[in-house]
Amino acid sequence: MSVRPEPGPGILSIKPYVGGKGGHLAGKVYKLSSNESALGPSAAALDAYQRAAATMSVYPDGSHLALRRAIAERYGLDVARIVCGAGSDEILAHLAHAYLRPGDEAVYSAHGFTIYRLVTLAQGATPVAAPEREMTADVDALLAAVTPRTRIVFLANPNNPTGTYLPGDELRRLHAGLRPDVLLVIDAAYAEYVRANDYEVGNELVANAQNVVMTRTFSKVYALAALRLGWAFCPAHVVDVVNRLRLPFNLTTPTMEAGIAAIGDVAHADASIAHNELWRARLAQRIAALGIDVTPGVANFLLLGFSGGPGRTAAEAEAFLITRGVYLRGVGDYGLADHLRITVASEEANLAALSGLEAFLGQA
């Protein structure tokens, strides 16, 4: 038997992440599978990106200072406690790299974002999924899953793919129940879309604790998904650790300039949020009227539950919709085999999805 280099423990247990399908049909294609922005990026962000292309022969600012200042000003945060990455996924991977070792455990909710499992396995650690209650993270179940080997608790708030969230009092209760050496990572990728009065993004927890990190992204409301831009608000000691791990020049100048312009264009972000509020409610109402279960969500997507009877499964619905150029996201890899996730998209795409679902159920 030949000898060859072998990967570390856990690597071969990883099932590579698969993004939402987009399709290559001859006709019109409507992609409602990746939670992308319905309105796209602001004109200011596009202009900033194009202007920055003239500097491509010069290395970018490795400290991301101008970008961090823009983020700090927009959200009222300490610029020194912000760290930026190539998408929030990169920061999540660095946190796992820094704080997980073989034999350690990371806890997350049963239908939590699949990246948490991937970054945990990549470090040879053990992912632990805690049961949810009514498609929502359960604080008691999360705390019950914590053992002496737990080093990180990941919480997507709001969660993808369910769209549900924990209110601020539950978030604080979760943190209060953790040992001080357990890192609570609050993944708030969809925070800008939430309008619930009891929602708290996590800024205060991070500001006043040594074991809480909040990650954010420019991929959703700011519509810069292709540029891979994310950030985190952290205790100073965590910022120091992540900066030691991240590669030099991990963000390009055009990416940072687009991010600065996007976060400064409040009017465009507000328009995206208003569009989402309007169409999320319309989609939920009309899809529920078809007899499809709709999980109440607060982000820019909805989770749809199918009966699973003959001709009424999620897989059959997904396949039928693809024939009409409509792409939703199957979420069987989240343990939700009878569900599809639908992104709030443009009016045209939303109406195409509704028409497709009606046709699938024979109600066209």
Which band of pLDDT confidence, cut at 50, 70 and 90, is reported for residue 13?
Answer: confident
Which band of pLDDT confidence, cut at 50, 70 and 90, is reported for residue 17?
Answer: low
The whole-angstrom separation of Cα 335 and Cα 272 is: 30
* pLDDT computed for residue 364 by the predictor: 47
Quick check: 169 and 309 in contact, CB under 8 A? Answer: no
pLDDT at 194 over 80: yes
> 184 and 279 share a domain?
no
Buried b (16+ CB within 10 A) or exposed e, 30-68: bbbbbbbbbbebbebbbebbeebeeeeeeebeeebeebb
Domain edge (last residue) among 217, 243, 265: 265
* pLDDT computed for residue 310 by the predictor: 80
| 69-78, 187-196, 201-210, 300-309: least confident range | 300-309
The residues pairing with 295 across neighbouring beta strands, listed in sequence order, are 303
| 4-18, 49-63, 279-293: least confident range | 4-18
Q: Considering the chain, what is the average pLDDT of its residues?
A: 94
pLDDT at 203 over 80: yes
Does the bond joining 254 to the residue before it have cis omega, within 30 degrees of 0? Answer: no
Q: What percent of the chain has pLDDT over 90?
A: 88
Domain range enclosing 231: 43-265
Q: What is the pLDDT of residues 59-109, one digit of tens each?
A: 999 999 999 999 999 999 999 999 999 999 999 999 999 999 999 999 999
CA distances from 9 to 37, 105, 125 (A): 37, 14, 8
Q: How many domains does the chain have?
A: 2
Task: Tell me the whole-structure pTM to 2 decimals.
Answer: 0.92
* CA R_g for the chain: 21
> 29 and 149 share a domain?
no
* pLDDT computed for residue 154 by the predictor: 98
Domain edge (last residue) among 265, 287, 321: 265
> 88 and 226 share a domain?
yes
DSSP 8-state assignment for residue 202: S
Q: What is the pLDDT of residues 111-162, one digit of tens each?
A: 999 999 999 999 999 999 999 999 999 999 999 999 999 999 999 999 999 9
Residue at 220 is within a domain: yes
